[in-house]
Structure 1
Amino acid sequence: MVRMARPGTDSPSSEGGISAVTAADSPATRPAPPADGLRTGEPPRGAGRPPRRRLFGDRVGSIEVLAVLLILLVLFRGPIASLISDARLQTWTTVFVSVMVQAMPFLVFGVALSAVIAVFVPRSFWAKALPKHPALAVPVASAAGVVLPGCECGSVPIAGSLIRRGVTPAAALAFLLAAPAINPIVLTATAVAFPRNPEMVVGRGVASLIVAMVMGWLWLRLGRADWIKLPHRPDLDDLSRGRAFWAAVRHDVMHAGGFLVLGAMAAATINVIVPEVWLQRLADEPVLSVIALALLAVLLSICSEADAFVAASLSQFSLTSRLVFLVVGPMVDLKLISMQAGTFGRRFALRFAPATLAIAVLVAVAVGGVLL
């Protein structure tokens, strides 16, 4: 509304007697209405209503994938049943399930211990527990594997957690190699499997400890920090200890478990493809028998708690060849290489696994020649 100046008063405007208030109310200076056409002060459209939920969400999760797989299994149960009845596929399934059943409990144990190290053990503990000099920390970390009952599947996440907590990689890798082979459960199983050859227990423990220390010192000499690329773990510092523990467990189980499945599938495939006749022919050749059992240990991917009984069943081979099988298996096999690639990176696995295999074969042959 335009106000006119009263007669006898001073007009704020020299022309037309229009007040200065008018300029403030003009359309040019009036604030623009909201973009949705509502007046100022009115609630936005749809306020107070519950948000609409999409039918399938923004992403397809594991629950949806599992549901689809179950539906497909029901729909195609006839063809799937006929495929499973094949003898080779049954062998593949048996080997795959056995590897998973053997390895999964120890993987969970190792992941839980890794989470305990990451959440509850302060970094200052490792500075006090291990010698400051890396060369001296390697044998101490190798000997520490005696107190940890478990297999190679559990040692991988533990070694990764030790590196995260500031332990020198050489010591952590020495622990990774020694723990699955010299712990009390493995040595006891070896004694039970070879009741007439107690020297096999001593040979396995000594050879495995030597290989672990040699690889640790070799990493100090030739290893590079950029070869190890640990996967990103959620930040645990801002969480309570309980929530941080379960977050670390979930992350490591999902990450390491996936590579364990790949390794178990590869081991099952090799078991089906490699004929047993080949092993019978190789047993008569001393050098070839050593190489054959070393490669067999890599391919079979048997848990270190059970590999002694498999080695005992290979009676056509010499004790030295079977010692090579027992030393190589817990340090280099398909599932372990796969897990190492997932935990430390492919560049690490491509260098560390072949070097470990060569050192393990040489040391096991030397120890076998002395003790056996």
Structure 2
Amino acid sequence: METPAMQAWRTVCLAVTVQALPFLLLGTALSGAINAFVPARVFSRVLPRRPVLAVPVAGMAGAVLPGCECASVPVANSLIARGVTPAAAFAFLLSAPAINPVVLTATAVAFPGHPAMVAARLLASLGTAAVMGWLWLWLGRAEWLRPKLRHSGHQVGGSRWREFRAGFQHDFLHAGGFLVVGAMAAATFNVAVPRSVLEAFSGSPWLSVAFLAALAIVLAVCSEADAFVAASLSGFSPVARLAFMVVGPMVDLKLIALQAGTFGRAFAVRFSAATTVVAVLSSSLIGGALL
């Protein structure tokens, strides 16, 4: 007979997977469309030639993709394959799930009467994305990056729709497996850690920020829903809840798994660790000033 813990584990695992799946479909479809229909010269025209300037532009461009972190990974991989500098692609990867209109609207709904929370989330997320892009320009190494290679771009005489279908199928099946792995890890944490542990950290301002940042990583809540989870954590400070919303869309278990499967484990470990530190610092600084 199935125990309540197993039932809870299965429910959480399915919930995370089902919640993220539509946006993974969106991202892989967009990735396939970029690969098949968008000429490479478009990116060289839109982004500044200097990588240091391309990073913030790509970060701000993340506002146009109404999807979560699952969608941004295959899109970033496709952008790199089309010749976009990795630093700019990574800035887009981090900003897209955090500052798009759907997420900001959800944040405003979750925190009614607190526009400062929306502004703080926008600024902290965009700042984190830009800083991480610049850090990659400064410290990133090519050997850390092992993107999964596939045909990129339209072949003369070939069917664009066939290329779109092949690219979409490849990216979705590849990323979907790692999404399930991340969902299983998040479900395990949800079942194994008692609620009393959450309450033990809420009393300390610094511990609460660090704890909610870690909680965001393991809960793997989709960015369109994380504001409502953060709003429900009323025992924690506004800065801690901001950290939860900034870290979560950029670093969580399913995203780490997706990055490892797409760009390689060496990249995922280093990039996720650095992003967590930068996101926590950005949340603390901007949250301390605005909230």
1:327-342 equivalences under 5 Å are 327-342=246-261
Aligned equivalents of 1:232, 1:129: Cα separation in 2: 24
1:201 aligned residue: 118
Tell me the SS of whatever aligns to 2:119.
Answer: helix
SS of the aligned residue for 1:98 comes to helix
- Which residue is equivalent to 2:239? 320
Deviations 1:187-240 (A, max 9, x none): 000000000322110000000000000000000000012211111325763741
Aligned: 1:262 with 2:162: no
Preserved CA contact (<8 Å) 1:92 1:271: yes
- State the AA in 1 paired with 2:140: G
Higher helix share: 2
Q: Find the aligned partners of 1:181 and 1:266 in 2 and give their Cα distance.
A: 22
Q: Pick from 101, 105, 116: which aligns with 2:18?
A: 101
**TM-fit CA distance, 1:173:** 0.1
1:91 alignment partner in structure 2 = 8
Query: Who is 1:288 aligned against?
Result: 207
Task: Extract unaligned runs of 5+ from structure 1.
Answer: 1-81
2:229 is equivalent to residue 310 of structure 1? yes
User: Matches of 1:315 and 1:309 in 2, distance apart?
Assistant: 11
Across the aligned residues of Structure 1 and Structure 2, the Cα RMSD in angstroms comes to 1.0
In the superposition, the TM-score normalised over structure 1's length comes to 0.76
- Percent identity at matched positions? 61
Q: Distance in 1 between matches of 2:129 and 2:116?
A: 20
SS state of the match for residue 167, structure 1? coil
Counterpart in the other structure of 1:126: 43
Letter in 1 for 2:130: M
Hey, what's the Cα distance between the residues in 2 that align with 1:196 and 1:94?
Answer: 33
Specify the alignment match of 2:281 in structure 1.
362
Secondary structure (helix, strand or coil) at the match of 1:192 reads helix
Offset at residue 101 of structure 1 (A):
1.2
Does structure 2 conserve the Cα–Cα contact (< 8 Å) formed by 1:146 and 1:182? yes
CA contact 1:152–1:331 (8 Å) conserved in 2: yes
How many Å separate the matches in 1 of 2:138 and 2:108?
36
Amino acid at match of 1:237: Q
User: Structure 1: how far apart are the matches of 2:265 and 2:4?
Assistant: 35
* Structure ID, larger Rg: 1
- Which of 63, 66, 74 is the matching residue for 1:146? 63
Deviations 1:73-100 (A, max 9, x none): xxxxxxxxx22xx111111111111111
Aligned partners of 1:293 and 1:203: how far apart in 2? Answer: 16
In structure 2, distance between residues paired with 1:234 and 1:142: 26
Count of aligned positions: 289
Alignment CA distance shift 1:234-1:141 (3 Å) = closer
Unmatched runs of 5 consecutive residues or more in structure 2: none
Deviations 1:257-305 (A, max 9, x none): 0000000000000100111101111101111111110100000000000
Partner in structure 2 of residue 23 of structure 1: none
Structure 2 counterpart of 1:237: 155
Give the secondary-structure state (helix, strand or coil) at the position aligned to 2:19: helix
Shift of the alpha carbon at 1:144?
0.3
Most deviating of 102-111 and 224-233:
224-233
Q: Supply the distance in 1 between the matched residues of 2:144 and 2:214 (Cα, whole angstroms).
A: 25
User: What TM-score do you get using the length of structure 2 for normalisation?
Assistant: 0.97
Provide the rounded CA distance (Å) in 2 between the counterparts of 1:146 and 1:234.
27
Q: Is 1:213 paired with 2:130?
A: yes
CA distance in 1, matches of 2:169, 2:62: 25
- Using the alignment, how far apart are the partners of 1:169 and 1:232 within structure 2? 14
